[in-house]
Structure 1
Amino acid sequence: MSLFSEASWVSLPRRSVVAGRDSAVLGEFLRPEVGLLLWDRPLPAPLRRGAREMLQAGARLEAEGEPTALLDSLLAQAPLPQAWLAELGGLALLLAGFAGRPQLRARLEAPCPEPAPAFRDSGPGLTLLCTYRGPATQWLAPGPPEATGAEIRQAATGSVLLLRGAWKLRPPPSPALSASPGSPPRLLLRLETLP
């Protein structure tokens, strides 16, 4: 009986991280070696205001399907302003285009803060993350295979993260939860491809 499969001996190619402020950086995700793309864009004022209002209303939206059906389902759950419809629709079309398949799952929610969150795998397919309010997602930067400690990086609020394959992600650690009434809650969009 073998403890290791042949596949366990194959070394995977190192995935690269690409970042940029201009939307032209999105084209880099077409390169198969790019595993994480960070589009460091400014968050438009209507989305900033809308994020605050959605959090106050306790919004938790979830849907599956092709981008148009997904948007219709989200709209049936809560009235979304035009700026949010354009944002969610545009990002859903972007991810579906990169994936080459239109079936997506969307979740827009305020995840509960964790005092010491663990890094979790992003999933095997393509994932898009965007934090609209509060501290954004952290990830472990790839390093040389012999490195023992990986560098922790964090996206800015409003930035779009595109992920290919499993990445170690976590929400930022929350200071003592009872002692941080001034820290804003997070509003996070997670779009992912369905098998």
Structure 2
Amino acid sequence: MQINPILSHSATKQVQTINASLLKMLDIFETDAQIVVIERAREHEIESYLQTAAHHMGEGFRVSLKAGEAFPQTLLPDLPGRAIFAGELEYLTQVYTDLLGCKAVGLRLEVISQAMCPRFHVDHTGIRLLCTYRGPGTEWLEDGYADRSKLGPASAGICDEESGIIQNVAGIYKVPLFAIALLKGSRWQGNTGLGIIHRSPQVPTETKPRVLLALDALW
């Protein structure tokens, strides 16, 4: 199945894809916006670091950080480029806490060799930040091409491609590497019954392991 790399424009009010200022992250607070994707240039130093370090991090780690707290570099393998990647994680944590005004954040760095959540689903969360540094990016399904009645148990265990949740494959998009993706879940105020429909991609052998950052607000 061919997956669209990303929307080059806003096809619907639900979709807010931009290539410029981080101020556009504020679009996620619009009532009918379910995802915001901010494309960024890939950083060679980080890619080089993870090419080796990713194979020495097990399945990754989880840590809770207070707003403004320095990221503990000791969680990462001590290889050339560690300080740069640690600075990146600290930067995104600060951007996220500033955006949501939360006092702390739950940070997960997932190092995975297979799809973690392979079925299209909606997170029962508020607003989550995702960023893929290695391997394929998160896939999401535009609402106009989805049948929400097929989410979860309603699919009866049938794969996404046959369950009917995908009304048209033209509505499937992939978040690019290094892009900041803000995903609104069903627990965000006023978003009950909604939330962006997304899934983890399959990880080709040549790109294993996939490295994904996830940030969730802690109140």
The yes-or-no answer on 1:190 pairing with 2:214 is yes
Q: How does 1:28-177 map to 2 (within 5 A)?
A: 28-29=26-27, 31-33=29-31, 34-59=33-58, 60-69=60-69, 71-72=71-72, 75-78=73-76, 79=78, 81-114=82-115, 117-143=118-144, 149=167, 151-165=171-185, 166-174=195-203
Higher relative contact order (CA 8 A, sep 6+): 2
Cα shift readout 1:115-156 (whole Å, capped 9, x = no counterpart): 992123233211110110111100111228889626221111
Cα 1:114/1:144, change in 2 over 3 Å = closer
Please, which runs of 5 or more residues in structure 2 have no aligned partner?
1-11, 149-164, 186-194
What is the distance in 1 between the residues matched to 2:175 and 2:145? Answer: 22
Please, which runs of 5 or more residues in structure 1 have no aligned partner?
1-13, 175-179
What is the distance in 1 between the residues matched to 2:75 and 2:147? Answer: 48
CA RMSD of aligned residues (A): 2.9
Instruction: Give the secondary-structure state (helix, strand or coil) at the position aligned to 2:69.
Output: helix
Contact 1:135 1:186 in 2 (8 A): yes
Contact 1:15 1:142 in 2 (8 A): no
Contact 2:121 2:198 in 1 (8 A): yes
Q: Percent identity?
A: 21
Q: CA deviation at 1:57?
A: 1.2
Q: CA deviation at 1:61?
A: 2.4
Cα shift readout 1:91-130 (whole Å, capped 9, x = no counterpart): 1111111211122111112123139921232332111101
TM (norm. structure 2) is 0.68
Worse-superposed segment, 120-129 or 142-151? 142-151
Stretches of 4+ aligned residues off by more than 6 angstroms: 144-148
What is the distance in 2 between the residues matched to 1:70 and 1:77? Answer: 12
